[in-house]
Structures are given as structure tokens and as C-alpha cells.
Structure 1
């Protein structure tokens, strides 16, 4: 399928079109705030006026570091409507981690909150060297030197809606929409650059494939800083005209009550969410009969779980999907009619307009049923890594194939089963973890000479980090000290839950740590 087979649009065109088609339809409910699609479109224009007044130019980056709240969406679409580029920040990052992304992206504005779950984001970056950052704006709360969201928006009074429209009209589908940062084997996060047109087309296709409609009440549990909560979340909802119900902080009792109260029909998320719902002791006290569609992934999904999601939670459709930040978040999807066995044992087949294949070490396609690295090609492949043409060239072939680094097996029907990860990535409760990034942090801990990290199974989170540490001579470390230090210096999902101390790490002749041997040792410990 060529790009001409699907009309290419920009984000402001999408929001305006949905508002025109469904003017009185409720777009979002967030606590006491209810916005129709007409009101969401008006809020978008109002925010865009403020960005113009603040001096935002085409291509300028705005960072958002906040939980799922209505202002997050309004700020994003306001900036994106006039050529601003969104840079989301994980709410679990610590100051140095956030500082790296703010510096690397050159963000001029940081939109955040005064405090969330004990994290005071403005204070966390106050000592970071951020030469491009001009202003911190708070959606809610207070912080020294920061400006309130209301004051920021009020600044747009001197700019007309016609000026916003004129800037929006200059946008093309090829213009950059966002830069999402993902970690890599080098241990340094990389900025993935993607455009308006490719993201909108990807999630027009995704939402049509899974069956999202304008009649759905969509509980967005996945965080907005992640493509699952952003692109498969509020962007897909706006494309289809669904009602968005953002979840600021996951609390199972509150979620069950909201499903009951708001007649929630759609809940995407990692398998742990559904497992938690199934095991809740008071589940039968809530009316869950409105549940219709579940889109899951990021971890294996047992057949028994899918069957219980149908039989006990009442979902009519359960599908899985697979993708990378470098592919706008999606490559393959199961179809609603697929069996529980196929959904459990695969991550779907390529979505329309995208090619997918498994290849050997030389890039040759392997036969069906044979393990190989997964490659994909299509409109969803990123424009490249931010300011890193060398890494981009190593990741995307000359003829446009994205080398995912994941190993899988494809069947005769094109359905792929992920079997391994070349890059050693593991997934903690739905969050991607890269050992090199954790290892780099651990190497800065006093007393640590060398560190290697692997993922090990965990009943609740799927996988967690296990650190193997060689202490410096005459230095005494214990497991709790490493865990405590890690909690202070890295996002919680990256923190090792297990620590092993060794006199040396197993290495090959080239000096590379033999992670497979560490996995074998960990497996032997588990019996």
C-alpha cells in the first residue's frame, strides 16, 4: 500500500475534523472537568495562541513531565497545531535522567506539576545545566520560579485564532510531530523522530483494526508519556471520537468503580492489569458488563488469561499487538476474530501498509517457522534518531527496513511470535528496561567496580532487574544498600530487585559480559 492510498493529515486537521463531525460529543472527563469535542478543539486553539505569544517557532520542542491529566493533552495538541514538537518525559525519571532528555532535545519549555507521588519535578531539575530551557509551566501545584498554566494560557489573549489557523495551514504531514526518547544498548537514551502523517495513519489503521469507535468510553490507564497511552491512547481516541477517561494514578478499586460508574468499554494495558482485576476480592461488587475491548501486549499473555478475560471479565474482543518507539509504537496486530491460542502465542501480523519479515545474520529472509531477527518496512518507520545519523544508518537499512533487534518466528500466515531480544531488553510491568542504562547508573555508585544486569521472572511484574556486581577491593556492599541507592538515582521500574555479588563477571575473549551465563546461573538458583 502506498501513502497515496490513505489521505495524509496533520494533527490540527484531525482534531478539527472530529470536532466538526461530533461537536457535542464528550471528548474527555477528568475529575470535575468535562470537555466536548468542540470544547477540546477550542482549548487546543487557545493553547496554540499562548504558544504563539510565547514565541514558539516551527520545530521548537516542548517537554511534558506530568501524569495523565486533561492539560497534558491540551498543551500537546496546542503546541503541535502550530509546529511545536512534543517531547514526553517518563513520570518516574529522576532529575539527572530528565535533565539528559531536556538537554538532548533542546526543549524550550517544560510543562509539569508541582508534585506527583512525592516527586517534585521542578526542584529535581533545578541544578541541571539546561541552556535551552526558558520556562517551567505548572499544570497544577506550585514551585519557585514556575509559571501557572492559567497564566501561560492567558498570555495568548493578544494572538488571534486566525494567526493560529495560518500557522496550522503551513504544516504538512511530513513535519515532525514528536520525539520520544528510548534507551538503547549504549546506555544513553535516543530521541526517536516521527511525523504528523505517519502517526495519524498508523493509529487510524490501529484503531480501525482493533475496532475502537466513537461510542467507546476509553479508560486510558497507560501513561501519556508512552506511545501506548499517547498514540494508542488519546491520539487514537481523538481520531475515532471516543470518550477519553484518563487515569492519573492506577488504583484498582478506583478503576473498578470508574468502570462501573462511567460504563467503560475499552481498557488497553499490560497483562498485569487484567490479572489484578481478576483476582480482586470484591470484583463482583462492580458492574463490569460494559467492558468490550482489551488491547494488551508488552509481556506474554497466557491462553488461560485470555479465556478468563472473555468469560469472567466479559470482554468481547481481546487482541495483542507489537511495536517499537521507532515504528510509531506499532508494527503488528492480532485481529478480533483470532483464536485465544493465536492471540496468546503471537503478537499478530503486520498491520495494513507495513511489511514484516524475519531474517538471518546476513539480512536474508528465513523460511516460515525459522527463528530470525524481525525487520519491518513502511510508513510507520521513524524519520530517524535525533541528531544521530550514524545510529540511524545502523538501525534502518538503505532500502528502508527497520532492524528491530527482536528475534521471532513467523508462521505461514504472517503471524509473529517474539522469542528473544537481541538487545537484552526486558519488560517490567509494561516498561521497557535496557540493561546498559541501569549498568551505567550502577557504575557511578561508590564501591561498585563492575555491574551487569539481566531480567529475571517476577510473578507480579513479569520481569525485574537482577544486578550482578563486582565490588571494588576492600569495599563492603550489601543488597539493600544497592537497592536503596538505586531507588534514589533511577526510575523505580529500573531498580534491581535482586543483587548478586561476585568476584568477577563471566566474559568472552573480547571482554563482553556473557549475559547468557548469568541467566543460566539465575535459572539454577530458581531451581
Structure 2
């Protein structure tokens, strides 16, 4: 699969085979960029996004330089909790200093730099400095425990780890690198050379072999700047620039490797769909930067369109988000459904003015009809945009549009992004008729280069003809808009009947007493699996009434047997990005419901 050419740098050698095989569809789409977008009524579940405007063929570093020259005095980033407000010119200067400082540490083009911590201005600087210097940034989940951090450091051969000085991060880091003294010969972390800590205390002395981030901004010379200039000229759009570890419930995380072309164009075309190209946008994004939602759709979309990004807090904080919207007069808001819910039902909601918001993007979990309507009404938005994607697709592949009818935003996840093909396929990878369930498969520029140094998993991810397998079950409508009805691994098989959790969730969200709901499967000796409903209520309602509501609107085999109630003071098991962790719900359900675990293998 791989083509190893000694003339290429190591990172390029690893993925040269991927480029040859999987970028064919992107090249074809580029050749077709002069054609008019097709207006289709689909009979088969296969849709192509618009082929104009053409794909960007630039690097992230080039975009930073161009925007600093085009709009030097415009504000690009506002980070209230760090009292930071940067213009495009100031940001470019900081990016160049950070990049030169990283090269001063001895890093070479293609080396990996890990970023491990909550949202901060330093996180943003690392993202753009590594890209400009020809390095590869590795997003490390700030909630990782010691063994998970150790795995990531070793898996992608991280040479420099930039970490936060929160107690949680320092406690974990001390277990991996005791006293911050990096061992000369270590089988656990053989490649790590430097730890850089993000600290506001400039009078503090770094421990062990660590450095402080503010030192990196100052500790470089002319040779480092010359090296930066040379590296920046050598970087190509197809070079890997970012590794993001996919979160899974089985095995170790996989390193999805993304190129400049992948993520820059995803931000570019996503922004066009959201209207960032038509009017000045001040985006409030409380989602974590370590995730594609934050670093691509938030950060990169902002820079490529010359907009402003406001990051309200290190981690999601509902009131801090409302305060930022009010104080900065934000015009667009990001979030997963739970984030929107926490804001509109916050006890201090009425204190803040959100009427400057023209729209919002809601993704990361199913977006219930009632929630979308309530959010638009309470926040004063004209539009709620919904979308679908995954880390391996940079992330967006489907997106609704400004001005779409409400049903497009509440009953679908949109249609294909520019220069992207999406199809629904059966078990033999054949396209199915519209209205038929199947796996969502993707082709085009968003698809990753591959999993870092994991040929087997990469081969599993692609069909023989180069389509990316998402593992999600979808249905396509005649207008080319798609629905996600579940995960292939989440499907509940109850007495031989396939049950798709999203269908039950959407049904229960229509009940006036239901605020939030998630469906999981639990083992059952007679039927194999039974349906368990985790639910948060707006007002009191009996379990029997909820079951009757399901019976009235769904087939009987889809009615939940078990209910687990989550009150307003509790939270569902969540990832750092705000996504629910259904595998944890399954595990906790066994204990709460006192069920046997002898058939729990399906959920692990």
C-alpha cells in the first residue's frame, strides 16, 4: 500500500501511497470545477456537492500571511479569560515567533508536536505555527489518563509536547514524565525530547527538562527565521499537518492524519455554506479546540474567511458563553445540542442580550425538532444549520444551508459539501435506492490521508474503489439530503428485529415533557437485547405515559423496557466535546438495572 521513496521526508513517504490511490476523486473534481452544479432528483442514494468555486490549493501558513496583509487591523481572535485580543497582523507575528521558537528546539519538517490542554490562545498559536513550519500538530485529548497519553506519545513519535499547567494535566504528566525529567533511553516514550508548559507566571522556573511557552516566543534567532522561511516554501497542500486521535470504545485510538488540503478546504467551503463569505462574522465557539469542530470549523473557518473567533472559556461554560455573545456582539454560535440546552435554560439567561446572533451551527449529536425551535426563538436566530461528518473526513461532508425549510434542519443533516460525493451503500458496497437504509460512504477532498502507521485499519476504512466507510447508517431523500439513523455498532437487535436508537430518540423528543433522551441496548436472556432509555425531563410524567407515547408512534418492538432518569443536577456521560458516551451508559445501565453482563460483549 505504501510507497517508500528515499527522496521524500518520512511523513511524506508514509502517505505517498494514500495520495496516489485516494486523491484520484479530488483530482477528478478539480477537473470538473468549471461545470455547473447538477440539480438532481435522486433515484439512487448518491449525491455530489457543488463543483464551484474551485478547491483552494494553498497551505495554512500562506492563508495566515495573506490575511495579515489583506486585513492587518481586523480582530481575528478574542480570548476573554486570558484578556487577549489579537489583530491579524499581531497574530501573524506571534505565529512566526512561535514557529521559529519550535524550530530552535531542533525540530525538522514532518516532526510531530503534541498539544495537550483546554482552549487557550497558545493552543491557536501552536496550530498555525506548526502548520507554517512544516510540522505536524497532534491533538491530544486533555482528559486522557497516563496510559492513554503515553500511548499517543509513542504511537506518533511526538518529539515536543506542549501541555497545560492545570492540576489535572500536571498530575497525569508526572506519571508519564516523573518530575518532568525526560529519560535518555525509554521504551515507553522513546521519541519525546521536550515538554513545553503553558503558564501565565513568567517569574516561575520550569521544572526538570521542561520549558515555558512564553520562552519559546522569545528564544530564537535569525537562523531559525531563515529555516522557517525555507520550510514554509517547501510545504505543499497535500502534506500531513494534523493528527487527531479518534475516540472509540474498543482498542486503542487511531491517529487520523489530515492534510492542509483536507482541513483548510473544509473550513473554506463550510464557511461559504454558513454565509461567512457574505458578511462579517463574529463567531462564538465554546467547543474544544482539540476536536475537529473547534480547530477546523471554528479556528480555520474563521481565518480563511477573515472573520473573528471568540473563545469564551477554557472548557464549556454556559454563562461564560452567554456573556461572550453579549459582550462581543457575536453573530454566529457553535455547539452540540447539550451546550445549547444548558445556555437557554441557564438561570441567568435573561441577563444577557443574544439578539445579535444571526445563526448557529448545531452538530455532534441528534438535533431534536423542539430544541431547534426553542433555540431559534430564545436566542433570536434566523437560521440553525446542522451537519454531519467525522474526524476522518476533516470533519464535514453533509451540511444544511441558510434559508432551508425547517424540516431540512430537523429531519436531515443536510446535503453534500462542495467537491464531495456521498452515497448510501449496502453490505456489498452497492448503492441503494433513495429511502433505503445503508452505510454512509464518502469520497472527495475531506477524506483523510489514512491512520498514522496503521495500514490494516486504513485498508478497513476504505472500500476497494476508494470510498470511505463511516460506519454510520443513513437514509438519503430524493432531494439529496441525508438522515443519520444510527451507528452500525449501535444498532440494537431485539428478538431478531433491528432497532435504530435515533428513531426512538426522535420520537420521544416530540413529547412535551422530554428535555433530552438517549437510547442504548442492554443484554436480555430471552431476546438477546432490550431497549434502555436514558432521559431528562422538563416536567413530571409517568413511565407508563412515556411507553404509551412510544406505542402510539412506533412499532411495539421499539418501545423501551427500561428507563434511567437523569435530573437537572446530573449529567449524561460525556466526552470533552460534549458528545454522549453510549458505551458508558450501557455499562452503567447494567449496574443500575442489576442485569447480567454475560452478554455484554456486543457493547465493548
The TM-score bracket by the shorter chain reads: 0.7 to 0.9
SS of the counterpart of 2:301?
helix
If asked which structure has higher relative contact order (CA below 8 Å, sep 6+), I would say 2
Q: CA deviation at 1:152?
A: 2.2
Post-superposition offset of 1:44: 0.9
Residue in 2 that maps onto 1:23? 72
Q: Is the 8 A contact 1:92 1:491 kept in 2?
A: no
Whole-Å separation in 1 of the counterparts to 2:102 and 2:366: 42
| Range with greater deviation from structure 2 (259-268 or 181-190) | 181-190
Match of 2:285 in 1: 220
* Range with greater deviation from structure 2 (418-427 or 386-395): 418-427
**2:172 is the counterpart of 1:109:** no
Q: Does 1:359 align with 2:418?
A: no
Evaluate the alpha carbon distance shift between residue 117 and residue 99 of structure 1 in structure 2; reply closer, same or farther with a 3 A threshold: closer
1:78 to 129, 137, 140: 129
TM-superposed CA distance for 1:504, in Å, is 4.9
Give the direction of change, closer, same or farther, for the CA distance of 1:115–1:514 in structure 2 (3 Å limit): closer
Shift of 1:118: 7.5
Residues 1:202 and 2:266 are matched in the alignment = yes
Q: 1:36 aligns with which of 79, 84, 87?
A: 87
Counterpart residue number, 1:236: 301
How far has the Cα of 1:184 moved from its partner? 4.0
Q: Return the alpha-carbon distance in structure 2 between the equivalents of residues 188 and 169 of structure 1.
A: 36
After superposition, give the CA deviation of every residue in 1:329-352 in whole Å (9 maximum; x if it has no partner): 111001112122221111111111
Shift of 1:262: 1.0
1:302 is aligned to 368
- The aligned residue for residue 134 of structure 1 is 193
| Residue 330 of structure 2 corresponds to residue 264 of structure 1 | yes
**1:122·1:136 contact (CA, 8 Å) conserved in 2?**
no
Q: How many residues align?
A: 461
Match of 1:3 among 11, 15, 30: 30
Matching residue within 146, 167, 176 for 2:231: 167
**Distance in 2 of aligned mates of 1:413 and 1:238:** 32
* CA distance in 2 between partners of 1:454 and 1:140 (Å): 48
- What displacement does 1:194 show? 1.2
What is aligned with 1:510? none
Q: Determine the structure 1 residue equivalent to 2:213.
A: 149
Structure-2-length-normalised TM-score: 0.72
Is 1:89 the counterpart of 2:140 in the alignment? yes
Q: Provide the C-alpha distance between the structure 2 equivalents of 1:8 and 1:290, rounded to a whole number of angstroms.
A: 34
- Assess, with a 3 A threshold, how the Cα gap between structure 1 residues 188 and 117 changes in structure 2: closer, same or farther: closer
2:388 to 322, 326, 349: 322
Change (3 A) 1:187 1:459: farther
Whether the 8 Å contact between 1:9 and 1:173 is mirrored in structure 2 is: yes
The answer to whether residue 315 in structure 2 is matched with residue 249 in structure 1 is yes
Alpha carbon RMSD of aligned pairs, Å? 2.8
Deviation, structure 1 residue 454: 10
Residue 69 (structure 1) aligned with residue 120 (structure 2): yes
**How many angstroms apart in 1 are the aligned matches of 2:394 and 2:237?**
14
Q: Is the 8 A contact 1:66 1:113 kept in 2?
A: yes
CA distance in 2, matches of 1:504, 1:114: 40
Q: Does the Cα contact within 8 Å between 1:86 and 1:179 map onto a contact in 2? A: yes
Contact 1:94-1:124 within 8 A present in 2 as well: no
Corresponding position of 2:416: 350
State whether residues 83 and 168 of structure 1, in contact with CA within 8 Å, keep that contact through their aligned partners in structure 2: yes
8 Å Cα contact 1:191-1:386 kept in structure 2:
yes
Deviation for aligned residue 1:116: 5.2
Does 214-223 or 358-367 show the bigger shift? 214-223
Contact preservation (8 Å) 2:163, 2:169: no
**CA deviation map 1:50-99 (0-9, x unaligned):** 12211111110000001111111112211111110010111111111111
Give the distance between the partners of 1:455 and 1:215, measured in 2 at CA: 46
Partners in 2 of 1:382 and 1:169 — Cα distance?
Answer: 23
Unpaired segments ≥5 residues, structure 2: 1-27, 32-53, 179-185, 492-500, 503-517, 521-528, 538-572
SS at match of 1:377: strand
State whether residues 199 and 212 of structure 2, in contact with CA within 8 Å, keep that contact through their aligned partners in structure 1. yes
Instruction: Say if 2:429 and 2:463, in contact at 8 Å, map to a contact too.
Output: no
Distance 1:10 1:514, change over 3 A: closer
Secondary structure class of the residue paired with 2:335: coil
Shift of 1:220: 1.8
When residues 310 and 503 of structure 1 are mapped into structure 2, their CA distance, relative to the original with a 3 A threshold, is closer
Q: Compute the displacement of 1:424 (Å).
A: 3.2
> 1:257/1:367 Cα in 2 relative to 1: closer, same or farther (>3 Å)?
same
Larger radius of gyration: 2
Partner of 1:339: 405
Q: What residue is the counterpart of 1:479 in the other structure?
A: none
Q: 1:65 to 1:454 in 2, by over 3 A?
A: farther
In structure 1, what is the equivalent of residue 598 of structure 2?
A: 505
**Cα deviation 1:227-284 (Å, max 9, x = unaligned):** 0011011111111111121231322222222211111112111011221222123322
Tell me if structure 1 keeps the 8 A contact 2:590–2:596. no
Tell me, what secondary structure is at the counterpart of 2:219? Answer: helix
Distance 1:34 1:454, change over 3 A: farther
